[in-house]
Amino acid sequence: MLVKICGIRRESDITYVNELKPDFIGFVFALNKTRTITVDEALKLKSLLNKDIKAVGVFRNNDINLIKEIVKLNIIDYIQLHGDEDDEYILEIKKFSNLPIIKAYRDSIYANYRLYDNLDPGKGNGFDWNLIKNNKPFFLAGGINIDNVDDAKKLNPFCIDVSSSVETDGFKDYIKMRDFIRKCKNE
């Protein structure tokens, strides 16, 4: 089972993930979010990241020029669109990037993956998993934690994506991250 730890924003978070080795981490560039980081912060954190761990840039209705800048700087390996972005927006991205695209909420023939998540992401709230349609590989987020991850795995997602459930007081918690990754990977 692949695992993404989203909302990485401190050097200590990078130290944790380099040791624990999730498959993906997420840098949040979405505006006005608790875990949002700047391009300079992401550039520094990416330079410290183990090369085997893929960085996902999380965007939500951002100016497409920001995505272009971040792609050009090689900060991210995947693009996650978590807002109202439509196929036209995705096609604009494809003019300057070949990075895989993850699209939340909306099917797109141009995105490589779909993300199923709660409509108010990053707060640990779940949603009705019966709404999932397996028409392409998907990331699963939204209220997944150590207690329900076994049920989430039964849905056969490409990747389990967590943030708040591996935090304490709003910051990444090494023990919670370790235990969650171990459970996902059956270690």
Residues with catalytic roles: 6, 117
CB 16 within 8 A of CB 7: no
| Residues 24 and 54 sit within 8 Å (Cβ to Cβ) | yes
Among residues 118, 119, 123, 99, the alpha carbon closest in space to that of 110 is found at 99
Neighbours of 179 (CB within 10 A): 15
* Beta carbons within 8 Å of 98's beta carbon, 6+ residues apart: none
d(CA 142, CA 145): 9
Secondary structure (DSSP) of 53-84 = SEEEEEESS--HHHHHHHHHTT--SEEEE-SS
Lookup result for tokens 């207690």: 147
